[in-house]
A = this chain, B = another copy of it.
Amino acid sequence: MVGLDTQNGSAVQRRLMETAPRRSWRTHLIGRPLPTADAPHQTVGKAIGLAIFASDALSSTAYATQEILVVLAIAGTMAFRYAFPLSIAIVVLLIMVTLSYEQTVHAYSNGGGAYIVARDNLGELAARTAGAALLTDYVLTVAVSVSSGVAQIVSAFPMLFRFRVHISAVLVLFVMMMNLRGVKESGKIFALPTYFFVVAMYSTVIIAFIRYLAGNLGVVTNPPPLDVAATAQIAPFLLLHAFSNGTAALTGVEAISNGIPAFKEPKSRNAGITLVWMSAILGSLFLGISFLAVHIGAIPSERETVISQIARTAFGGVGFFYLASIAATTVILVMATNTSFADFPRLSALMAIDGFLPRQLAYRGSRLVYSRGIVALALIACLLIIAFDASVTGLIPLYAIGVFLSFTLSQAGMARRWWKSGHLQPGVSSKEAGSTLRHDHRWFVKMMINSTGSLLTAVVVVVFGITKFAEGAWVVLILIPLLALLLRGIHKHYLSLARSLNLDEFGEPPPIPRHRVILLINQVHRGTLAALRYAQNLSFDVTAVHVSMNRAESENLRGAWPLWGKGTRLLILESPHQAFLEPVLRYIDEISNQRQPNEIITVVVPQLIPEKWISSLLHMPTAMLLRLMFLTKKNIVITDIPYQINGAAG
């Protein structure tokens, strides 16, 4: 009589969906559970898609130029003239990465983040490395973006400078709360700030450029003082270092490749076009900002951002337009963290399903968001912000290594894929994990594009490692391999677990020859009787055990038991020294050493549940303590029978 009751199941399921969601203590903090908060996106067109997925990438323009200048400043302000050529080199890199990702977008129409592409084409080591690199950089994205956002605020309102760490932490926690409540990633709410930023930045850059051509732009008035003294010569190492810092502009370019399923059909085509548009905007804004920064003589400083200096100069002072463009920059920077808040837990869940991270991360919380991942991300980002005093320049040496490592692995994976595709017979398709592979007659060109992209980004990773090593990159260079090792350890645990649980060469478990039930009792009361009733339902073999702490109480019990005990054996353990748990432990140890193989002992513990939570401090968590004690013993089950106390007598 095998009952695969799944039809009945879906009926129950349907009814369940109609019942009201459960309330809990979290309800007060993060709102009522939202059953549809994270329901599959409404698909979006290119314009909205750009707004949703571009905030992270575009917001990088707010700090990339400044971080180039910071390095050049070590060789004096004369070195600033290298900023624009370096920016051009970075844009060339951007173009290569964009071409590469455009191919990924077409190959992985269900979403092709670096982890998936590496896993499907390069195997476990690459997947773990990509995963570790991405997780690291999502955290850094939050820290850098928020710190840069706060730097914009501080530029406009210098008196807030000494609160920058506080403001940053509050903003991170704010975005965290919004995500715990279940922010809809899709939706037009994202369109407004992104386009506001694009318009504000282009206006600033174009006005400044017109004034530059007209010859009346001038230089920035009252620039902030340089934070560093010029102590070095211009040298290739310095230029490479500045280049490394500037590549932070490329972070976020990969966001669209994760979000392909959100686009309207034809998904890949729409996502690809959006990607190209995004890169075009990103590249042009970045070049414009770099050009202007040098020409107005902007000074990189923790006190006033380069963006603020450009806006101030373009609009001829601190007026409405200046404040608008600062506001736009701040908002997009804070919004950029939202991409991390969506992708970090989603990647964690993906890796948890693959057995590289704890299973718990694969499950969503009551708001249907991955609450554990969201909270973890926010807390680590806050710690980083505190440790680095919300300084973008302090955080930058750690940043972007992970992103470029994942670029490298992702594109290497794509190159491998084209290679395999080229060696398939036309018309034959191979079902690789994740996506279907067909012969592509342009495989060689595509392979070359991805290979070049991979090679270039690999070189950038090496340049990062060398030029930023002493400033902090060493932390990341140690952290990512350690994380990858940890992921391996977790994976091995799950694999060995599966082996030791598998049913090959394993018959039915032997039957239970005897089921002894031990009922712990203090006194005879209603809770005891409920537990006794349950115990007798479990087995005929019930022994009531009482630890005598108090002679009078024990005598009462002994007197009452014939009346209430329903024929159950009563065993009174003496405890002359008021120890409670120890006599019970010894007794259970004793009988468990004497039992037959596969005999089961269930300890039934009546547990009083007071109405008010605080009152539970007045009761021993006996079942919990016993459960901890017997965790590693075979065939001992601790069951607490909760007995709810309803206030006064009744």
Q: How far is the CA of A233 from the CA of B438 in the complex (A)?
A: 103
Interface bracket on A: 35 or more
A492-541 at interface with B (beta carbon < 8 Å): 493-494, 496-503, 506, 508-509, 511-512, 515, 524-527, 529-530, 533-534, 537-539
Q: Which of A75-83, A386-394, A578-586 contacts B (4 or more CB under 8 A)?
A: A578-586
Q: How far is the CA of A230 from the CA of B463 in the complex (A)?
A: 73
- Tell me if A123 counts as interface (CB < 8 A to partner B): no
Q: How far is the CA of A21 from the CA of B368 in the complex (A)?
A: 48
B618 touching A364 by the CB < 8 A rule?
no
Residues of B within 8 A of A416 (CB): none
**Distance from A343 Cβ to chain B, minimum over Cβ atoms (Å):** 15
B579 touching A645 by the CB < 8 A rule?
no
A558 touching B500 by the CB < 8 A rule?
no
- Tell me if A215 counts as interface (CB < 8 A to partner B): no
Residues of B within 8 A of A12 (CB): 571, 573, 587, 590
A497 touching B631 by the CB < 8 A rule?
no
- Given A533-B509, A579-B363, A582-B22, A618–B493 Cβ distance below 8 Å? yes
**Distance from A132 Cβ to chain B, minimum over Cβ atoms (Å):** 17
Q: How far is the CA of A609 from the CA of B629 in the complex (A)?
A: 13
A496 touching B641 by the CB < 8 A rule?
no
SS class, residues of chain A in contact with chain B: mixed
- Tell me if A222 counts as interface (CB < 8 A to partner B): no
**Distance from A600 Cβ to chain B, minimum over Cβ atoms (Å):** 7
A364 touching B610 by the CB < 8 A rule?
no
- Tell me if A425 counts as interface (CB < 8 A to partner B): no
A502 touching B525 by the CB < 8 A rule?
yes
**Distance from A33 Cβ to chain B, minimum over Cβ atoms (Å):** 7
Residues of B within 8 A of A33 (CB): 582
Residues of B within 8 A of A209 (CB): none
Q: Which of A2-10, A92-100, A200-208 contacts B (4 or more CB under 8 A)?
A: A2-10
**Distance from A110 Cβ to chain B, minimum over Cβ atoms (Å):** 14
A368 touching B558 by the CB < 8 A rule?
no
Residues of B within 8 A of A571 (CB): 5-6, 8-9, 12
B537 touching A587 by the CB < 8 A rule?
no
Q: Which residue of B lies closest to A526 (CB)?
A: B501
Q: Which residue of B lies closest to A363 (CB)?
A: B580
Q: Which of A275-283, A296-304, A448-456, A561-569 contacts B (4 or more CB under 8 A)?
A: A561-569
- Tell me if A549 counts as interface (CB < 8 A to partner B): yes
- Given A570-B5, A632-B644, A22–B589 Cβ distance below 8 Å? yes
- Tell me if A650 counts as interface (CB < 8 A to partner B): yes
B543 touching A524 by the CB < 8 A rule?
no
B648 touching A577 by the CB < 8 A rule?
no
Residues of B within 8 A of A529 (CB): 503, 508-509
Q: Which residue of B lies closest to A618 (CB)?
A: B358
B2 touching A565 by the CB < 8 A rule?
yes
Q: Which residue of B lies closest to A583 (CB)?
A: B16
- Tell me if A62 counts as interface (CB < 8 A to partner B): no
- Tell me if A608 counts as interface (CB < 8 A to partner B): yes
- Tell me if A617 counts as interface (CB < 8 A to partner B): yes
- Tell me if A70 counts as interface (CB < 8 A to partner B): no
**Distance from A346 Cβ to chain B, minimum over Cβ atoms (Å):** 10
Most buried by B among A6, A366, A558, A590: A6
- Tell me if A620 counts as interface (CB < 8 A to partner B): yes
Q: How far is the CA of A359 from the CA of B553 in the complex (A)?
A: 14
Residues of B within 8 A of A577 (CB): 38-39, 364, 368
**Distance from A621 Cβ to chain B, minimum over Cβ atoms (Å):** 9
Interface residues of A (CB under 8 A from B): 1-6, 8-10, 12-13, 15-16, 19, 21-22, 24, 33, 38-39, 349, 353, 358-360, 362-366, 368, 370, 490, 493-494, 496-503, 506, 508-509, 511-512, 515, 524-527, 529-530, 533-534, 537-539, 543, 549-550, 558, 561-562, 564-565, 567-574, 577-583, 585-587, 589-590, 600, 608-610, 615, 617-620, 627, 629-634, 636-637, 639-642, 644-650
A-B contact pairs, 10 of them (CB 8 A): A5-B543, A5-B571, A8-B571, A358-B619, A363-B578, A368-B577, A368-B579, A534-B637, A634-B644, A637-B641
Q: What 5 pairs between A and B have smallest CB-CB spacing?
A: A501-B525, A499-B649, A363-B580, A3-B569, A16-B586
